[in-house]
């Protein structure tokens, strides 16, 4: 049994509304939440915390941005002392990016503020309700990520086929 159009409409509208509220919260509380950490800092530093030191190209891929965008963001974080960059011993042309102690502390402060917001927003929820929402959001994120990756692979395959069959 499929999902009804009404449900998908309500879901996508709700997700859009949630994203708008998230942007409003971020703008209102940018200083409280990030201090001197740029607003993109969390997104860039979290994969470094989870996966450790990595090449810029790997980080850009995990962020879903172009390497040039990731490079500018990493440079800003490096100037602020939140990340370190060192030559890749396997390939001197590449760099390895890692989280600094200051970066780890900034993530912890950000996580604490976000946790306080979540506690306040979910004050009237039961643990079961909050856990269910968490599981469902994690599942949705995983499914969306899987679908995006499949779409990207299909587009890459189509482009390769087009190049191979193009008159030349």
Measured from the Cβ of residue 119, the count of other Cβ atoms closer than 10 Å reads 10
Are 91 and 110 in contact by the 8 Å Cβ rule? The answer is: no
Q: Which residue has the tokens 């587009």?
A: 155
Single pTM value for the model = 0.68
pLDDT at 82: 93
DSSP category for residue 71: H
Cα angle 64-67-71, degrees, rounded to a multiple of 5: 115
pLDDT at 42: 82
What whole-number distance in Å separates Cα of residue 75 and Cα of residue 40? 12
| Token pair for 28 | 């209102």
pLDDT at 111: 84
**Which residues, 6+ apart, have CB-to-CB distance to 110 below 8 Å?**
33, 34, 37, 42
The per-residue pLDDT string of the chain (168 residues; one tens digit each, 9 = 90 and over) reads: 789 999 999 999 999 998 888 777 766 666 665 666 777 888 899 999 999 999 999 999 989 899 999 999 999 999 989 999 999 999 988 899 999 999 999 888 888 888 888 899 999 999 999 999 999 999 998 998 888 878 877 777 777 777 777 776
């Amino acid at each position: 049994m499929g999902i009804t159009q009404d449900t998908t409409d309500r879901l996508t509208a709700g997700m859009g509304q949630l994203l708008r509220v998230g942007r409003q919260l971020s703008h209102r509380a940018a200083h409280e939440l990030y201090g001197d950490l740029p607003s993109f800092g969390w997104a860039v530093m979290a994969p470094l915390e989870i996966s450790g030191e990595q090449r810029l190209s790997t980080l850009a891929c995990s962020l879903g941005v172009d390497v040039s965008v990731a490079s500018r963001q990493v440079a800003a974080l490096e100037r602020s002392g939140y990340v370190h960059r060192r030559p890749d011993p396997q390939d001197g042309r590449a760099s390895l990016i890692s989280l600094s102690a200051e970066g780890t502390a900034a993530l912890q402060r950000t996580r604490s503020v976000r946790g306080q917001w979540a506690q306040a927003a979910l004050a009237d929820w039961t643990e079961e309700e909050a856990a269910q929402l968490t599981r469902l959001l994690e599942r949705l994120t995983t499914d969306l990520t899987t679908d995006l990756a499949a779409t990207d692979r299909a587009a890459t395959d189509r482009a390769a086929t087009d190049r191979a069959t193009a008159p030349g």
